[in-house]
Structure 1
Amino acid sequence: MPHPSAPDHSAPDPSEPGSSAPDPSEPGPELRAELVQAALVAIGVAVSGVLLGLVWLWLAPRVPLVWIGDGIYPKDAEGEQAMGADGVFTLWALAFGAVSAAVVFWFFRRGGIALVVGLAIGGVLASVIAWRLGVWLGPAADIKAHAKDVGRNVTFDAPLKLGAKGALLAWSFAAMAVHLGLTALFGPRDEEPAQPAG
């Protein structure tokens, strides 16, 4: 009567502590590399928001105010400077988003959802940094104190404001659109399977 074969103990048991079997829950090296690249892209784009803030501060039209009687009023009641500040921020955010996407694509020479996510997150952070920096470096936020400093009937600039908060998404939208477009046009193509000889 044949004896049953003895169990093979040479194969490592994945349940043992010393087992080197890969954990399916852990990301592979390629995924980890993509996540690192996406994090670097997000940080780099966010830091460049400082430049957008300086450009916005420099180019945004000012809203002139004047202290008359017991109140502070716009010097030009029909002026559109406030809307102009939003427009300047949005247009430059779109431009910065397009340039950042082109730089990222040129540097990595490929697409990937991780890079797009990094661009999107970095774009939002950059826009928030630019907005807060422009407000901080702009005219004083305390209008009453500023009016008392300059005196009555003297024109002074209102604080820099971003009325349309949707402008904070302009950078991300432009970056994602441009990067996806460049990937579709110039990204690596998947090799077509060879046709069987007929």
Structure 2
Amino acid sequence: MTAPLTPQPHGRPPHDTASGPPGAATSGREAGELRRGVLTGLSVTVSGVLLGLAWLWLAPRVPLVSDGEAVYLENTEGEQAIAADGTFVLLGLAFGAVTALVVFLLRRSGGVGPVVGLALGGLLGSVLAWRLGVALGPTSDVVAHAREVGKGVPFDGPLELRAKGALLAWPIAAMLVHLALTGLFGPRDPEPQPLPPL
């Protein structure tokens, strides 16, 4: 005689391993999230090159002049140094909005990975833009540059970012815009189904 088979819940036969171990699907989703996050972060970071070039092109120059012994601002009341920081902030806000929109359109299904990649990529992209703008701008060796151009001849001072908080403009704008887009146009949770009458 054989023992009767015990019915399994949901009609699943005993020892059904076709779907793999219980944690396999979860770890697969986590790996996919991590991969999407890394790709998003790298793409956003690389776009920092465009921000650096735009900052170099649009930021006002700080005119300096030498009297043969020291280097001074040509216009002591000029606001070019502050304007360079402001230009970086405005560009960072614009880049944050655009990258948030692109990430949202490409990853409309949501997920933590792309959001984290967007934030970290925005910060790293800002740092890359800052260093690239400084490197490609006028030389930071002001004394040598003053000797080269001669006494009383104005020349452009180095491009500098004095307010380092400007580096946060891109990631903050990206997170706020992405949050707004997700709230307005993101996937909705399914409505709860009413319980059947008893």
TM-score band by shorter chain is 0.7 to 0.9
Aligned pair count reads 181
Greater helix percent: which structure? 2
When normalised by structure 1's length, the TM-score is 0.86
Give the whole-Å Cα distance in 1 for the aligned partners of 2:114 and 2:161: 28
- Tell me the residue number matched to 1:152: 151
- Tell me the residue number matched to 1:113: 112
Change (3 A) 1:131 1:78: same
User: Contact 2:96–2:171 (CA<8 Å) still a contact in 1?
Assistant: yes
Give the whole-Å Cα distance in 2 for the aligned partners of 1:27 and 1:152: 70
Give the whole-Å Cα distance in 2 for the aligned partners of 1:143 and 1:172: 32
- Tell me the residue number matched to 2:60: 61
Give the whole-Å Cα distance in 2 for the aligned partners of 1:92 and 1:48: 12
Unaligned runs of 5+ in 2: 1-14
Task: Provide Cα deviations, 1:103-128, integer angstroms capped at 9, x if missing partner.
Answer: 00001113222221111110011001
Instruction: Name the aligned partner's letter for residue 132 of structure 2.
Output: L
Instruction: Indicate the percent of aligned positions where both proteins have the same amino acid.
Output: 58
Root-mean-square deviation (CA, aligned residues, Å) is: 2.1
When normalised by structure 2's length, the TM-score is 0.86
Give the whole-Å Cα distance in 2 for the aligned partners of 1:69 and 1:147: 8
Superposition deviation, residue 175 in structure 1: 0.6
Unaligned runs of 5+ in 1: 1-10, 12-20
Task: Provide Cα deviations, 1:139-164, integer angstroms capped at 9, x if missing partner.
Answer: 01100000011000000000000000
Give the whole-Å Cα distance in 2 for the aligned partners of 1:159 and 1:196: 70
Tell whether 2:90 aligns with 1:91.
yes
- Tell me the residue number matched to 1:167: 166
- Tell me the residue number matched to 1:193: 192
Change (3 A) 1:196 1:91: same
Tell whether 2:145 aligns with 1:139.
no
2:194 match: secondary structure = coil
User: Contact 1:111–1:180 (CA<8 Å) still a contact in 2?
Assistant: no
